[in-house]
Amino acid sequence: MPIVVQKYGGSSVADVEKIRRVAHRVKQTRERGYQVVVVVSAMGDTTDELLALAKKVSADPPRRELDMLLTCGERISMALLSMALQELGVGAISFTGSQSGIITTDAHSQARIVEVRPYRIEEALAKERVVIVAGYQGVSSQREVTTLGRGGSDTTAVALAAALDAEACEIYSDVDGVFSADPRVVPEARKLDSLSYDEMQELASAGAKVLNAQAVEFAKARGIVIQARTAHAQGSGTAVREQGAPTDPRVRGVTAETEMAVLAATVESGRVASLLGFLDARGVRGRALAFDGLLGREGRVFIAVPLQDVHGPEVLQRELGEHFGGAVTWCEDVGAVTAVGAGLNADWSYLRRALGVAEHLGARVHAVHTSPLQLTLLVDKQHLKALTLGLHRDFLGT
């Protein structure tokens, strides 16, 4: 029988009743003639609650111990879903990431999958069982429990789909696919029937919550088509797949990133490289938004750091001061608004229009980043919603 991998996010398994609903959906998939592997996130806000508990003990929890703690959330979900399926008369078994053969790097809190050895999953499928896998986690070559960073359950699902040669990889959440903007911010945002891997990865890396950027990267490398759908109803969702190059430039979506800090460093000999080494040593990811400085004048580099994977921001901020003094500043009062689309920067028209919208709203633009698929404006957080709405209406015509 063909294999389907389904992933259910935390909101889809937030309580016992929702877990029962997921169990019924999985049973229906099984009855359609599929072998099913289910990847689950922790229930509701469990991960945040566990993280808050850790913070009461330590301002900057050791990453190994944090991984040991946070992986408990997915283990609860997987066991409860297996119980719910068995109550429905469906044979099921739950596995942790390590039991599933998910081998990762040894970077605690932000590990990457390097190999999948799904022997136990294959054995269970051969016995006609539904397999439930704890998402977001794996085991390193040093036999240490690791986590994949926020949203890592998506990556678990895609990696398993590739390893099992699955027919489909379905990612279920609260919304029916990927929208051109967050509907809570842009009421007229429209659902996108399909996106290319590159477009989806750019949206995800810029703050869109529906899919994890690393999962999309993994899907592209393995040629896995992702279907993003709602867990609460029937819908067509959004397909993320390889697509031909568009003939005309167009914007596909606009998204904002709010949970971030911006590091601003003066550009002097060796300082930026030293700062990047400092961040690498602490497992702090980020992206450079802009370099300024011309013809020998002192300039600055802006580095946007998503805060969701920085588990000790106060400690990091203090260490930055100890290492770099006033040469590196930390700011949480700014955020980024990003438009994504192929050919977006083929000429200056979209950047001109974006700057015009920002000026009309009275939003000061601190920095700009452009790439073949992305246009990002760094502005004060108080302007993020208005600028997202304004750019969506200007670029997408609604």
Annotated binding site for ATP: 7-10, 184, 209-210
204: number of CA atoms within 13 Å, CB side? 23
∠ CA 358-364-367, nearest 5°, is 95
Binding site, by residue number, is: 7-10, 47, 74, 184, 209-210
Q: How far is Cα 341 from Cα 208, in angstroms, rounded to an integer? A: 14
For residue 141, which of 165, 112, 109, 110 has the smallest C-alpha distance? 112
Interatomic CA distance for residues 69 and 50, integer angstroms: 7
**Whole-angstrom distance between the N-terminal and C-terminal Cα of the chain?**
45
**Could you tell me if 354 and 370 are in contact, meaning their C-beta atoms sit under 8 angstroms apart?**
no
**Residues that constitute the known binding site for substrate:** 47, 74
DSSP 8-class letter at 132: E
Ramachandran quadrant class, 207 (left: phi over 0; alpha: psi -120 to 50; beta: rest): left
For residue 55, what are the CA distances in angstroms to 42, 108, 303, 314? 19, 17, 25, 11
Q: Which amino acid appears at position 383 of this protein?
A: H
Residues in the chain: 398
